[in-house]
Amino acid sequence: MRGSPYHIVTHELIPLIFEAGAKKTDRIDPKHPSFGKISSYKTMDAYKQTWIQLLFFLKEQFHLNDPEKIDEEHIRDFMVYKALERPSKLYLARISAALGKLETALTLYAKQKYGEERYYDFSIRQIVLDGARNLEMVADNYHDRAYAKPNILAGTLDRIEHRLAADIQWESGGRIEAVGLIKKEQLRGYCIDPITGVTMGQIWSKEKGGREGMLMVLTPTYHWLKEHIEEHGCFKIDRQKYTTDIRRTCERLGIKGEGSHGFRYAFAQRRMKEYMKAGYTYEQSLQAVSLEMKHNRAIITTWYVG
């Protein structure tokens, strides 16, 4: 199976698994042609986004371009990767469900293409989901996850490289994968933030779903990052050690730990205020901040600002 993640998901997998209007009684009947199919447009769209994210993740992390070669290890790492973002229980459960349907879609693809049964076992997804719940890596419902003083928390982390990563996150809104590895060629010099008029350092990044764009950080942070890369060749952290450092530091400071995503929440809320202070409407600010955080829809930002 070849092509871009968008092509593979849209043109190869979805036609095999989606059947609009299929009855529930047929979809749960192993003998019926509609068995295991998805009949809801809303559900299919949600699963589509997860599948595309997974394929981009596998391409970047494992250099895997063929979904037919997905195995238990790939599913486990993707689920852990998503759990480290401390999503809601419902959201992580939906990701698990989407991966379960991908298992079905790949089985159907193999049967159609090769005329034989090829079974995929992605049951590890449920084990990771249960483990994430037990370790409280997921949240019950919405609550404000922004750190009240992200700069203080960042500066108190045990490892100095984690302090730099946290500064980049709360200043730019970048995801954890954006700060996990930064190379020299990603440093793009300085610019004037058109919203605040402040001189900022620019870091090119490629994040969730393959979305590309610039992250803007304060000049002291940019200088620090540049010096680190000049000395070590690149900036790199272990994501799990980073999130563990954040959790332990939060415990030490007596504040609720929200993982690395808490820095993104802090960024979103601060950035919303900066846009509105610059004369943007609330709706315009939502859309602008959403784009800076590499989302497409303005409604996504409402989750960050409550």
Tell me the chain's radius of gyration from C-alpha atoms: 21
More confident residue, 227 or 58: 227
Reply yes or no on whether the pLDDT at 299 is more than 70. no
Indicate the domain borders of the chain: 5-134, 150-305
Fold category of 150-305 in CATH: hpI Integrase; Chain A (1.10.443)
| Angle at alpha carbon of residue 166, lines to 171 and 186, rounded to 5° | 70
Mind listing the pLDDT tens digit for each residue in 78-95? 888 888 666 788 888 999
pLDDT, one tens digit per residue, over 180-220 is 999 999 999 999 999 999 999 999 998 655 678 899 999 99
What's the whole-number mean pLDDT along residues 159-168?
A: 97
Segment 252-281 shows an average pLDDT of 90
pLDDT at 206: 80
pLDDT digits (tens, 9 = 90+) for 107-137: 999 888 888 777 788 988 988 888 877 766 6
Amino acid type, 211: R
Mean pLDDT of 166-178: 92
Average pLDDT of the chain? 87
Integer Cα distance of 29 and 137 in angstroms: 36
Which residues are within 8 A (CB) of 14 and not within 5 positions of it... i.e. 6 or more apart?
Answer: 44, 48, 105
Backbone region of residue 279 per phi and psi (left: phi > 0; alpha: psi in -120 to 50; beta: other values): left
Residue 228's DSSP bridge partners are none
**C-alpha 273 chain-centroid distance:** 24
